[in-house]
Amino acid sequence: MTERSENRISGEGWLALTASPIGNLEDITYRAVRILGAADLIAAEDTRRARRLLAKYAIDDTRLTSYHAYNEDKKTESLLDQVERGRKIAVLSDAGTPAISDPGFLIVRAAVSRGIEPLVVPGVSALSFAVVAAGFPVDKFMFAGFPPVKPGKRKRFLEQLPISEYTCFLFEGPHRIPRLLVEISEIIGPQVPVALIREATKVYEEVIRGTASRLAEDFAGRKCKGEFIIAISR
């Protein structure tokens, strides 16, 4: 760790955006464990999952508070007030890196506006896992988040993906995977290469590759379970 980062951690108050494992609890950095142990308060997207992670690393006496998409508007300023009073606060996603389809952006923006420079403690992300696991060209790639649910917006979303230039990565709920594969085949093209990365780092981890039409056929009527990242190659 650099001297500057070390000084900030040992100083009075700080805000640390801390990456957490996406499945396997061993996928956490030494620095993240140390940050979580040094925090006065951990603002966790899911306090139950946070407690399991903290218990594994014998971090038993740190106070937790919930901080998620439904309360971040209300709690962000109070958390930053505490940082300004000298408290050390870690923001912890349910799984992965804060601000990547998880809470984090609002508190970073608000912190910067107050002159608080957040510490970013990097680590695992479902997106970075998928970029490596897909086996597609990723010299240039795009993360597009979750497709809209409404049919018209969903169609436009897929039509506008820049597949000719980038490998595109999406998140999608398991119950919509069969539908999404059909839509990719019909809107982008039946022969476009697709990879489904499922349950990354977990017991049932798998990567399923094929053309959009072939995967749409294979998944027709299937009840999917687990967390998926979808890669669409150029």
pLDDT of 9 over the 80 cut? no
Between 102 and 198, the more confident residue is 198
- Return the structure tokens found at 63: 């106070």
Q: What is the mean pLDDT of residues 201-216?
A: 96
pLDDT of 86 over the 90 cut? yes
pLDDT of 83 over the 50 cut? yes
Give the pLDDT band (50/70/90) at residue 12: confident
Given this model, what pLDDT does residue 5 score?
52
Given this model, what pLDDT does residue 143 score?
96
Query: Could you read off the pLDDT of 117-167 as tens digits, one per residue?
Result: 999 999 999 999 999 999 999 999 999 999 999 999 999 999 999 999 999
Q: What is the mean pLDDT of residues 180-205?
A: 97
pLDDT of 234 over the 90 cut? no
Q: With b meaning 16 or more CB within 10 Å and e meaning fewer, what string describes 7-39?
A: ebbeeebbbbbbbbbbbeeebbeebbbebbeeb
- Return the structure tokens found at 6: 């070390």
Give the pLDDT band (50/70/90) at residue 2: low
Rounded to 5°, the CA angle 194-132-144 comes to: 55
Distance in angstroms (rounded) separating the CA atoms of residues 79 and 84: 9
Given this model, what pLDDT does residue 26 score?
96
126-232 CATH choice from 1.20.950.20, 2.30.29.30, 3.40.50.1820, 3.30.950.10 = 3.30.950.10
Distance in angstroms (rounded) separating the CA atoms of residues 80 and 73: 12
Query: Could you read off the pLDDT of 135-145 as tens digits, one per residue?
Result: 999 999 999 99
3-state helix, strand, coil in the chain (%, to 5): 40, 20, 40
Given this model, what pLDDT does residue 1 score?
47
**What interhelical angle do 30-38 and 3-10 show, nearest 10?**
20
Specify the CATH number of the domain 3-121: 3.40.1010.10
Could you state, in order of their start, the residue ranges of all structural domains in the chain? 3-121, 126-232
pLDDT of 194 over the 60 cut? yes
Query: Could you read off the pLDDT of 19-73 as tens digits, one per residue?
Result: 999 999 999 999 999 999 999 999 999 999 999 999 999 998 899 999 999 999 9
**Residue 201 CB neighbour total at 10 angstroms:** 16
Whole-number average pLDDT of the chain: 94
